[in-house]
A = this chain, B = another copy of it.
Amino acid sequence: MNEQEAATLFGALSNDDRLRVIRALVRAGPAGLAAGEIAEAIGASPSRASFHLSTLSEAGFVHAERQARSLRYRVDFDRIGALMRFLLEECCAGHPDLRSCCGS
């Protein structure tokens, strides 16, 4: 992960619709949510939800799996963790002041 890639990933998080998508998917847990359910959950049209889902998918924050007529999305925690690690460790050089960010 370099600055270029990290910037793209942060860009995928820089939208409140997309943050709501992630939140909804976290709430849904391992079962995930169908695209239509996500659209309804965040109050967006199917087309708009699909646009944001493809951004999140390209970033690797979510993955889709076809299930009958639906596409079921799940969140990828590892990918989110990798971005956090970049900012906290690589970028911020493991600065002690940031160690407390995880509430540990």
Report the contact-size class of chain A (Cβ under 8 Å from the partner).
Answer: 35 or more
Pairs A–B under 8 Å by Cβ, sample size 27: A3-B16, A4-B16, A6-B13, A6-B19, A7-B14, A7-B15, A7-B16, A8-B14, A11-B11, A13-B14, A22-B91, A77-B95, A77-B98, A78-B97, A80-B87, A80-B92, A80-B98, A81-B97, A81-B98, A81-B100, A84-B84, A84-B88, A88-B102, A94-B103, A99-B102, A101-B102, A102-B104
Interface residues of A (CB under 8 A from B): 3-4, 6-8, 10-11, 13-16, 18-20, 22-23, 26-27, 77-78, 80-81, 84-85, 87-89, 91-95, 97-104
